[in-house]
Amino acid sequence: MDWVKTFYGAQNEWFGVYLGGVEESHRERAELMHQMTDPTTKQILELGAGGGQTAIALAELGHEVSAVELLEESVLHAQKLSHQMKVDINIQQGDFYTIDYQQSFDLICYFDSFGIGSDADQRRLLKRIETWLKPGGNAIIEVGATWYWAGVANGRKMDLGACFRAYSFDVLNSKLIDSWWRKEAPETVVRQYLRCYTPVDFKLLLEGTGLKMVAIEPGGRVDYEEMEFIKKAALGEAMTYYVKLCKI
């Protein structure tokens, strides 16, 4: 998993991907957490929180929010942004595979980048999530949909202005390969590799973790002809889906 810091660091350096403000999409994601659980005040942990935008959106709804993020630059941005918006979040720099939380949480969220590493790595993380959950608590994880990344998105190339982005799919390992390179330096390519799952495969992944799936909510999709993001898609067309987990 040596690519992780390089890839997400390049996204910040080239585009400031995680260094912006709280946008409508972050507040919509926070509202989705209400829809999939309930709107009562919770102690929430967000894994891989980026620049803290979703964590702040959740805190705006009255929740007590902790977060962990790998990149120092993103953590510093989250701290600055929360101060500017007068919202308290507790964000720490660290690796969620090694960080130690003594407290437990009502809700644990992980968006965008689930699937780093092997199935064994995912199970290791899921077991950690189970230990951090309160009895009756939930985890909500955004999962890459195999059918989308192996199908409609496979082979797509996009011009993002300063750089290009291209999707490919490793069919043997069921992994999305997301490649970025700057137009001025095409020889320098950074990539992320995310394991994708069908819902039935994700259920198999949960075996031995102490967690079970209790609900699925489809995410959106991209209309590549119009280059438009469709916020709500049928499950069989969605690029990601959200799984709601609870302790067994």
Would you say the C-alpha torsion 153, 167, 1, 9 has a positive or negative sign?
negative
Lowest mean per-residue pLDDT among 109-113, 159-163, 201-205: 159-163
Q: Are strands 185-195 and 175-182 parallel, antiparallel or unpaired?
A: antiparallel
Distance CA 93, CA 110 (A): 16
Lowest mean per-residue pLDDT among 40-44, 54-58, 153-157, 223-227: 223-227
Beta-bridge partner residues of 108: 45, 139
Type of residue at 161: G
Residue 80's pLDDT is: 98
pLDDT confidence band for 241 (50 / 70 / 90): very high
**Domains located in the chain, CATH noted:** 3-144+198-247 (3.40.50.150)
Contacts of 182 (CB under 8 A, 6+ apart): 14, 162, 163, 188
- Show the 3-state SS of 25-37: HHHHHHHHHHHHC
Lowest mean per-residue pLDDT among 59-68, 150-159, 194-203, 223-232: 223-232
pLDDT of 207 > 90? The answer is: yes
Structure tokens given for 103: 């407290």
Tokens 């403000």 found at:
21
Region 88-105: mean pLDDT is 96
Structure tokens given for 113: 């980048």
pLDDT of 1 > 80? The answer is: no
Structure tokens given for 18: 């995680």
Contacts of 78 (CB under 8 A, 6+ apart): 49, 50, 51, 52, 53, 55, 56, 67, 69, 89, 91
Q: Are strands 90-93 and 64-69 parallel, antiparallel or unpaired?
A: parallel
Distance CA 52, CA 19 (A): 9
pLDDT of 206 > 90? The answer is: yes
pLDDT of 59 > 80? The answer is: yes
pLDDT confidence band for 55 (50 / 70 / 90): very high
In the predicted model, what is the mean pLDDT of the chain?
A: 96
Question: Would you say 230 and 220 are in contact if contact means Cβ atoms under 8 Å apart?
Answer: yes
pLDDT > 90 fraction of the chain, expressed in percent and rounded: 94
